[in-house]
C-alpha cells in the first residue's frame, strides 16, 4: 500500500482511498466503484466527515430492525468488501444476519475474491456466490436481480450499503425493510430505503454494531417502538438541513481554513 504521511492533513481520507485502490487491484472493487467512492467523498466533505446526530439515530433504528428481523441479510458489494470486511462480519455476528454477495458488475472472479476477503475477516458462510444465486428479484434487469434463495430472497430486513436505487425500489416492492448507508441523501437509494444512514460506511457499520450491542437485551416490543418512532423523511430532511447550515456558515467565511484565511488577510494588507 502507498505510504500516507501520518501528518498529511487529509491522511484518513487518503487511507480510505488506498484501500479501494488495493481492492481494485485485487479484483474486489469494480472500476465504477472508484468513481462511486469519489461521489461519496464529495458528500462526506459537505457533512463534515463525521457522524451526525441524525445518522447515529438512523444507525440505532437500523440495529433495532436487524435484531427484530427473522431473516436479516447484509448485502455486500465490492466497495463494502474493500472498506469494511471485518466490520461486516462483526455486525453479522452481533445481529445474527447472513452475509450475501450481490454485485452490479457481477463476474465469477469478483464473487470469489469478495468471498475470500470476507472469509479472511472471519465469516463462516457467504451466500450469493456462483450457482447459489438461482433466484431472481422481479422487475430488475441488472445483475443485482440474481439472489440466493437462502438469503435476500427470503429476507425480511436487508442492509444494502452503497447501493443503486433500482434494487432498493425492487426490494421495497417485495415488502422487505431496506436499510441503506449512503453519503448522498439525494440518491434514489437514500430516498427509497426505509432507513437511510447518511454517513460514510467506514463509520456507519461500526455504529450499527455498537447500537445492536446496546439493544440486544431489549424486548421485541421495545425494539418495535424504536422502529415505529423513526421517520426516514424527517431524518433525511435533517441531514439536508445540516448540509445547508454548514454551507451557509462556510459561505460567510469564503476561506474557512484558518491558516489559509490568515495568509489571505496578510497578502491583502501588503497589496
Ligand atoms: O461492486 P458492485 O459491482 O456491486 O458495484 C458497486 C457500485 C458502488 C459501483 C454500484 O453500486 C454503483 O454504481 O453505485 P452508485 O449508483 O454509484 O451509488 C453509490 C452510492 O454510494 C452513491 O450515492 C455514493 O454517494 C455513495 N457512497 C460512495 N462511497 C461511500 C458512499 N456512501 C457511504 N460510504 C461510502 N464510503
DSSP string, 35-96: HHHHHHHHHHHHHTSS--HHHHHHHHHHHHHHHH-SSEEEEE-HHHHHH-HHHHHHHHHHHT
Instruction: Check pocket membership of 195 for ligand 1, CB cut-off 6 A.
Output: no
**Predicted TM-score (pTM) of this structure:** 0.96
pLDDT at 54: 98
pLDDT at 5: 79
Report, as an integer, the average pLDDT of 117-131: 97
Q: Are 19 and 82 in contact (CB under 8 A)?
A: yes
Instruction: Check pocket membership of 36 for ligand 1, CB cut-off 6 A.
Output: yes
**Residue whose CA lies nearest to ligand 1 atom number 27:** 40
270: CA distance to ligand 1 center in Å? 47
pLDDT at 1: 63
Return all residues near 165 (Cβ < 8 A) that are at least 6 apart: 187, 188, 189, 191, 192
Amino acid at each position: 500500500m502507498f505510504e500516507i504521511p501520518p501528518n498529511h492533513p487529509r491522511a484518513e481520507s487518503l487511507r480510505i482511498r488506498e484501500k479501494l485502490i488495493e481492492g481494485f487491484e485485487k479484483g474486489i472493487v469494480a472500476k465504477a466503484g472508484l468513481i462511486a467512492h469519489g461521489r461519496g467523498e464529495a458528500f462526506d466533505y459537505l457533512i463534515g466527515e463525521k457522524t451526525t446526530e441524525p445518522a447515529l439515530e438512523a444507525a440505532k433504528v437500523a440495529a433495532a430492525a436487524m435484531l427484530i428481523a427473522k431473516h436479516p441479510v447484509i448485502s455486500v458489494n465490492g466497495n463494502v468488501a474493500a472498506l469494511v470486511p471485518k466490520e461486516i462480519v462483526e455486525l453479522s455476528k452481533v445481529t445474527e444476519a447472513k452475509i450475501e454477495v450481490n454485485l452490479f458488475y457481477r463476474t465469477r472472479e469478483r464473487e470469489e475474491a469478495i468471498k475470500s476477503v470476507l472469509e479472511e475477516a472471519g465469516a463462516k458462510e457467504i451466500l450469493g456466490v456462483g450457482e447459489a444465486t438461482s433466484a431472481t428479484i422481479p422487475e430488475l434487469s441488472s445483475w443485482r436481480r440474481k439472489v440466493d434463495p437462502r438469503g435476500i430472497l427470503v429476507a425480511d430486513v436487508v442492509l444494502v450499503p452503497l447501493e443503486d436505487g433500482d434494487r432498493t425500489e425492487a426490494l421495497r416492492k417485495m415488502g422487505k425493510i431496506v436499510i441503506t448507508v449512503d453519503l448522498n441523501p439525494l440518491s434514489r437509494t437514500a430516498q427509497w430505503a426505509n432507513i437511510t444512514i447518511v454517513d460514510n460506511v467506514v463509520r456507519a457499520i461500526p455504529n450499527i454494531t455498537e447500537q445492536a450491542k446496546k439493544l440486544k437485551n431489549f424486548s421485541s416490543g421495545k425494539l418495535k417502538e424504536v422502529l415505529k418512532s423513526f421517520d426516514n423523511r424527517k431524518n433525511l430532511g435533517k441531514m439536508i438541513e445540516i448540509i445547508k447550515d454548514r454551507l451557509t456558515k462556510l459561505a460567510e467565511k469564503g476561506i474557512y481554513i484558518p491558516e489559509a484565511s490568515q495568509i489571505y488577510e496578510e497578502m491583502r494588507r501588503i497589496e
